[in-house]
Structure 1
Amino acid sequence: MRFKWVWLFVIMLLLAECQSSYWVLEKDRIDEVPDIKSYVKDLQMHDDVKGYQVFTISEGKKMVVVSLGSNDKAKKLEMSDVKFSPKETIVTVTRKPAPKANEKNPYILIGLDKIEGDLIVQDESGDRFEETDDQQ
């Protein structure tokens, strides 16, 4: 009987480690994070801003806002992958055609449980986004 409890505990630990440590916040939930809502509003007014900005949200988790700038307003961003290593966290996004261009500056909201080492934000081709100046 004790052996079953040990196995159950081990399985629970493995499942906890397998949980995704990133997510995409739906844009209709942006009211939940006022600082980010303000930043996104600025992105739409300053549509030449291309890059990413990192915000700390609840419980030390991070939110990465990636924007394409007005040159790519016919595109949208989708989450591709996040890879963690002790030296770096690599966030990869994919550019897709937007069915209708309803944003002056397309963006995506990526939540991360943690950032390990240097943060690299790139597209599917390996082109890196630069961190933006948060003083718009």
Structure 2
Amino acid sequence: MRFRWVWLFVIMLLLAGCQPSYWVLEKDRIGEGSPDLEIYANYLQIHDDVKGYQVFTISEGKKMVVVSLGSSENDKKLEVSDEFSPKETIVTVTRKPAPKANEKNPYILIGLDKIEGDLIAQDESGDRFEETDYQQ
């Protein structure tokens, strides 16, 4: 009987370790992350040529990575592929057709529990996004 409890505990630990350490914040909840996020999202729609990523610190020291495509791809939306490496933090986004182009500059809000090593934001082809020159 004791062996079953130990086995159950080990399985629970393994499952907890398999949980992704990221989440995608819905755009209609952007105000919950940080006031800076909402300001930056508005900045992206005014400066629709900005393509790249920007990192923000949100509650409890967690990070929010905002990846934007620029106006040349305003008919796209972004989704996250869960490809992460233990030596560096790799955020891979995938371009998908948007049902309607409702943003001048499409972006995605990716929350991270922490950033390990270097942060790499890339697309599904492995092309890397550069950090934007936005001053917070």
Q: Distance in 1 between matches of 2:99 and 2:27?
A: 16
Q: Distance in 2 between matches of 1:108 and 1:94?
A: 10
Aligned 8 A contact 1:65 1:109 in 2: yes
The Cα shift of 1:5 comes to 2.7
Q: Distance in 2 between matches of 1:30 and 1:104?
A: 17
Please give the root-mean-square deviation of Cα atoms over the aligned residues, in Å.
Answer: 1.4
CA displacement 1:98-136 (0-9 Å, x = unmatched): 121110110001111121111111111111100011228
Which SS does the other structure have where 2:84 is aligned? strand
The Cα shift of 1:53 comes to 0.4
Matched, 1:91 2:99: no
The Cα shift of 1:77 comes to 1.0
Q: TM-score, normalised by structure 2?
A: 0.92
Matched, 1:110 2:110: yes
CA displacement 1:55-82 (0-9 Å, x = unmatched): 1112221110000011111111111223
The equivalent residue for 1:125 is: 125
The equivalent residue for 1:52 is: 53
The equivalent residue for 2:24 is: 24
The Cα shift of 1:12 comes to 1.9
Which SS does the other structure have where 1:4 is aligned? helix
Q: Calculate percent identity across the aligned residue pairs.
A: 82
**Structure 1 residues not aligned, in runs of 5+:** none
Aligned 8 A contact 1:52 1:130 in 2: yes
Q: TM-score, normalised by structure 1?
A: 0.92
Aligned 8 A contact 1:48 1:69 in 2: yes
The equivalent residue for 1:64 is: 65
The equivalent residue for 2:80 is: 79
The equivalent residue for 1:135 is: 135
The number of residue pairs the alignment matches comes to: 135
Q: Distance in 1 between matches of 2:60 and 2:85?
A: 19
Matched, 1:2 2:2: yes
Q: Distance in 1 between matches of 2:83 and 2:5?
A: 33
The Cα shift of 1:4 comes to 2.8
From the two aligned structures, give the one with the greater strand fraction: 1
